């Protein structure tokens, strides 16, 4: 028996591309939403050309677009405008229309919130962009590096002496998750009241929102938060230390944890040492305690340190690379590595879905579609176009 899915019957018309929007609709699709991805004819989502590419197929695209179907439409020619009109038939079908063009662009295609509302008054219209649908920067262009910088994350990342952004495009992911939450909130409200609305989520806002206490440090204390690198302003030892075969993070956020760690090192003397006995004195004597820990770590492996600290309830972590994670037993047990079959690439591993629902778990039923693979199926089965009409659209280069 097929398992019930949480978002069974939720219909999403998806104009997004690259990372932020596709991450949001991947979360929805994994949990059962029916996502139809609309791509520009002959071109498609930009990530179809993103590395890693093998045999002409992008693994990047395949990761983010599983569980979705693809239709292609010509939006820019006169025939395309006809296609846009036809698209309004799909928009009637949708509970959610989602897009991540720069602000205002989709309106110019005749597919903005105001256009869609005319045919589907209660639609949830989700616009994801660099700077949002209003505000002085709304027309600026953003890539991930721009959003990390503008939202304040770059300034707080990297070592103390130099700000360095994060390599993966995490501002896209953070915005995508916020959007998935915003869409579900709007859908819940629509389910209860019948009312649709615009959900506007911006990359700059989303990054700004995850700076922890940084804003209130500034507003309450009048000072900028510090970039701390691997260590902590308020707890010692809480840092990354070199060890025999790599690096290891040891995080003692309280005196009781430090005492446990001192026992792990067989240095119970530190527990009563006036230089190291409490967190405030350890902060003052940071260099001294760091030296002791470095020496202890230098003769031990990541695995040895992890094992003894875990046993003693001291928070610890080897610095895990992607290579390490591919064979990690916990990643496997959590189904965070899934394998999907592609007709050209064979079986490939992808990151799974981090939302674990006991009764309606994420499922991975459809590999990512080839460009326009589902155009005919969607037009005929979902909006009921005849074969003749579809053939005519194709002859007119509308699809």
Separation CA 294–CA 221 (nearest Å): 34
Separation CA 178–CA 173 (nearest Å): 9
**Kind of pairing, strands 316-318 and 34-40?**
unpaired
Q: Are 36 and 373 in contact (CB under 8 A)?
A: no
Closer of 275 and 357 to a copy of itself (Cβ): 357
Which of 283, 292, 331, 390 is close enough to bind a copy of itself by CB under 8 A? 331
Q: Which of residues 43-72 bind a copy of itself (CB under 8 A)?
A: 50-52, 54, 59-60, 62-63
Closest CB 352 distance from a copy of itself, rounded Å: 8
DSSP for 178-239, please give it.
Answer: HHHHHHHHHHHHHHHH---EEEEEEHHHHHHTTSTTHHHHHHHHSSPPPP-TTS-SS-SSEE
Note whether 392 binds a copy of itself by CB under 8 A. no
Which of 107, 121, 168, 280 is close enough to bind a copy of itself by CB under 8 A? 168
Closest CB 111 distance from a copy of itself, rounded Å: 17
Note whether 336 binds a copy of itself by CB under 8 A. yes
Q: Which of residues 179-208 bind a copy of itself (CB under 8 A)?
A: 180-182, 184-189, 191-193, 195-202, 204-206, 208
Closer of 80 and 196 to a copy of itself (Cβ): 196
Note whether 1 binds a copy of itself by CB under 8 A. no
Sorted by sequence, the CB contacts under 8 Å of residue 244 that are 6+ apart come out as 297, 298, 299, 300, 301, 302
Closer of 77 and 122 to a copy of itself (Cβ): 122
What three-state secondary structure class fits 382?
Answer: helix
Closest CB 214 distance from a copy of itself, rounded Å: 5
Closer of 180 and 398 to a copy of itself (Cβ): 180
Closer of 161 and 269 to a copy of itself (Cβ): 161
Closer of 155 and 383 to a copy of itself (Cβ): 155
Note whether 216 binds a copy of itself by CB under 8 A. yes
Q: How far is CA 147 from CA 133, 140, 177, 207, 259, in A?
A: 15, 11, 15, 7, 41
Q: Which of residues 228-257 bind a copy of itself (CB under 8 A)?
A: 228-230, 232-234, 238, 240, 247, 249, 251, 253
Closest CB 380 distance from a copy of itself, rounded Å: 28
Q: Which of residues 7-26 bind a copy of itself (CB under 8 A)?
A: 7, 10, 19
Two tokens, residue 74: 């010509």
DSSP for 43-54, please give it.
Answer: T--GGGGPSSEE
Q: Which of residues 297-316 bind a copy of itself (CB under 8 A)?
A: 310, 313-316
Closer of 213 and 274 to a copy of itself (Cβ): 213
| Catalytic residue IDs | 172
Q: Which of residues 352-391 bind a copy of itself (CB under 8 A)?
A: 352-360
Q: How far is CA 109 from CA 4, 27, 48, 168, 339, in A?
A: 37, 27, 23, 32, 38
**Kind of pairing, strands 11-14 and 96-99?**
parallel
Separation CA 7–CA 28 (nearest Å): 7
Which of 77, 114, 218, 278 is close enough to bind a copy of itself by CB under 8 A? 218
Q: How far is CA 94 from CA 37, 89, 217, 264, in A?
A: 12, 9, 44, 58
Separation CA 30–CA 232 (nearest Å): 37
Note whether 399 binds a copy of itself by CB under 8 A. no
Which of 22, 80, 112, 151 is close enough to bind a copy of itself by CB under 8 A? 151
Nearest to 18 by CA among 54, 69, 58, 57: 58
Separation CA 349–CA 328 (nearest Å): 14
- Of the ranges 129-137, 276-284, 288-296, 383-391, which one interacts with a copy of itself (CB under 8 A)? 129-137
Note whether 215 binds a copy of itself by CB under 8 A. yes
Closest CB 204 distance from a copy of itself, rounded Å: 7
């Amino acid at each position: 028996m097929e398992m019930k899915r949480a978002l069974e019957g939720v219909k999403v018309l998806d104009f997004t591309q690259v990372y932020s929007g596709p991450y949001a609709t991947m979360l929805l699709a994994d949990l059962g939403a029916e996502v139809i991805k609309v791509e520009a004819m002959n071109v498609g989502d930009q990530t179809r050309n993103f590395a890693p590419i093998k045999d002409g197929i992008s693994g990047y695209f395949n990761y983010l677009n599983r569980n979705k179907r693809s239709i292609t439409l010509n939006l820019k020619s006169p025939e395309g405008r006809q296609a846009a009109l036809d698209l309004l038939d799909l928009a009637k079908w949708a509970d959610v229309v989602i897009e991540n063009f720069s602000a205002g662009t989709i309106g110019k295609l005749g597919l903005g919130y105001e256009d869609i509302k005319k045919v589907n008054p209660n639609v949830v219209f989700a616009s994801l962009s660099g700077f949002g649908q209003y505000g002085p920067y709304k027309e600026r262009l953003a890539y991930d590096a721009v959003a990390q910088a503008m939202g304040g994350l770059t300034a707080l990342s990297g070592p103390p002496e130099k700000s360095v952004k994060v390599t993966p495009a995490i501002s896209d992911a953070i915005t995508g998750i916020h959007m998935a939450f915003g869409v579900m909130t709007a859908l819940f409200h629509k389910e209860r009241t019948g009312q649709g609305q615009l959900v506007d989520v911006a990359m700059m806002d989303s990054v700004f929102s995850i700076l922890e206490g940084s804003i209130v440090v500034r507003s309450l204390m009048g000072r900028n938060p510090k970039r701390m690198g691997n260590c902590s302003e308020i707890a010692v030892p809480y840092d990354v230390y070199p060890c025999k075969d790599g690096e290891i993070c040891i995080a003692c956020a309280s005196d009781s944890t430090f005492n446990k760690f001192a026992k792990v090192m067989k240095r119970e003397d530190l527990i009563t040492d006036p230089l190291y006995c409490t967190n405030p004195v350890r902060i003052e004597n940071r260099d001294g305690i760091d030296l002791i820990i470095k020496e202890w770590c230098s003769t031990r492996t990541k695995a040895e340190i992890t094992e003894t600290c875990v046993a003693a309830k001291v928070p610890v972590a080897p610095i895990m690379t992607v290579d390490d994670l591919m064979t990690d037993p916990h990643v496997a047990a959590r189904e965070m590595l899934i394998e999907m079959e592609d007709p050209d690439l064979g079986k490939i591993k992808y990151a799974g879905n981090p939302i674990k629902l006991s009764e309606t778990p994420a499922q991975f039923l459809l590999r990512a579609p080839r460009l326009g693979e589902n155009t005919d199926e969607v037009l005929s089965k979902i909006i009921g176009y005849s074969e003749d009409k579809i053939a005519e659209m194709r002859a007119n280069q509308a699809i």
